[in-house]
Amino acid sequence: MPRSYSADLRERVVAFVGAGHSRRAAARHFDVSDSFAVKLLQRFDRVGSTAPSTPGRRPGEGKLGPFQDFLIRKVLDKPDITMPELGAQLEQAHGVHADPASLSRFLCRHGFTYKKSPDGLGIRTPRRGGRAESLEKQTPAADAP
């Protein structure tokens, strides 16, 4: 992944444009791309900072983020559910298609591990102290009076 330009260069580009030069002139003067200068000044106008934004998505965002509780509850209800089955239930309930690999990564990020039993069957279990364990404690017992 490419590295961000230094904070010093970013500040000098903003100061150069602030002195009355155009963004493209600043790009030529500092030997950077036009798009860098334009986007830097747009960010500076919008946020008020020349610092680069953090790469990637914020935690909880993404395709499966809004369905986190639904997915975790399905796995807690049926720990030996397969990823294709879970994906089918997600698509049926919410109309969102998710590949089995992305569902598996999602569950691993949220504290589930895949354990094989001696009979060769696998089951997803929550790790200790993870989000899934706290949801499990909140779920009322099915056979409670």
Residue 124: strand, helix, or coil = strand
Contacts of 60 (CB under 8 A, 6+ apart): 68
Global confidence as pTM: 0.50
Contacts of 76 (CB under 8 A, 6+ apart): 126, 132, 135, 136, 139
Compute the half-sphere exposure of residue 46: CA atoms within 13 Å on the CB side of its CA: 9
**CA-based max dimension of the chain:** 76
Q: What is the pLDDT of residue 124?
A: 64
Q: What is the pLDDT of residue 110?
A: 86
Q: Sorting pLDDT into bands at 50, 70 and 90, what band is 144?
A: very low
Q: What is the pLDDT of residue 123?
A: 61
88-108 tens-digit pLDDT = 999 999 999 999 999 999 998
CATH topology of domain 65-138: Arc Repressor Mutant, subunit A (1.10.10)
pLDDT over threshold 80, residue 79: yes
Q: How far apart are CA 66 and CA 73, in angstroms?
A: 13
Residue extents of the structural domains in the chain? 7-47, 65-138
